[in-house]
Amino acid sequence: MPFKEKIFQNNVEQKVAATARSELAMACAAYAAMTTPQQKAGCIHAMMDVLDRKLDEKTRWAVMEACGRQCIGSSTLEKARRLQQKAQGLDDLLCRLNEARIGGGHLLREADGIHAAYDHCYCGSVSKAREPFSDTYCHCSCGWFHQLFEMLLDRLVEVELSGSIIQGDEKCRFLIRIQEPG
C-alpha cells in the first residue's frame, strides 16, 4: 500500500498545531516531487522525524492511526464482512481472514487478545527504506487494525504495536485487545 499523502495531510491539518503543521506541509510538498522508492522512503522518514520532534507521542500516534483507519479500503472491509457472515465464531473468522490474507495472514487469538503479524512491510515506499524508521509510522497499521476489528466485532479495540520490521524486527507484530461492552 503506497503512502497516501493527501490522507496524511488531512490528518495533520486536523490534529497538529500550526507550528508543526507548516514544517510537515513542506515535507509533504517535497514528497510529491520524489520519483524513486528510496527517495519517497527518505521523505517519509523526514516526515516521521518532524512528527517525533514536534509532537507528543499521543498526538503523533493519533495522526498515524487516523491515516490507517482511512487507508483500509472499502473492498477489504466488505470482503472481511462477507467472511464474518460465514464464520462460526471469532476463531473461525480469524482463520478465514488468514486464508484471505487480510491482516497479514497471521491472526491468532490468545488469552490476552488477538495477535497479528506481518512477514513483510506492506507500506509501499517505506518498505524500501535502507535505514531504520521511527515506529511512529507503524501506528498507521494500528489504525488499520482498529478499523477492521471495530467494524467486524462492533466493539472498541485497543491495538498495541509490539514489533516493527522498519525498526529492525523480524516481523511487524500487533496485539489487538477487545474491550468489554459497557
Please state which CATH class domain 5-178 belongs to: alpha beta
pTM for this predicted structure: 0.92
CA distances from 86 to 82, 89, 96, 99, 181 (A): 7, 9, 9, 13, 24
Residue bearing cell 516526515 = 47
- DSSP, collapsed to helix, strand or coil, labels residue 79 as helix
DSSP letter for each residue of 85-118 = HH-SSHHHHHHHHHHTTTTTT-EEEETTEEEEEE
- Residues 163-180 have pLDDT tens digits of 999 888 999 999 999 998
CA distances from 71 to 8, 113, 122, 143 (A): 10, 23, 12, 9
- Residues 8-23 have pLDDT tens digits of 888 988 888 887 888 8
Cβ neighbors of 14 (< 8 A, separation 6 or more) are 66
- Residues 67-97 have pLDDT tens digits of 999 999 999 999 999 999 999 999 999 999 9
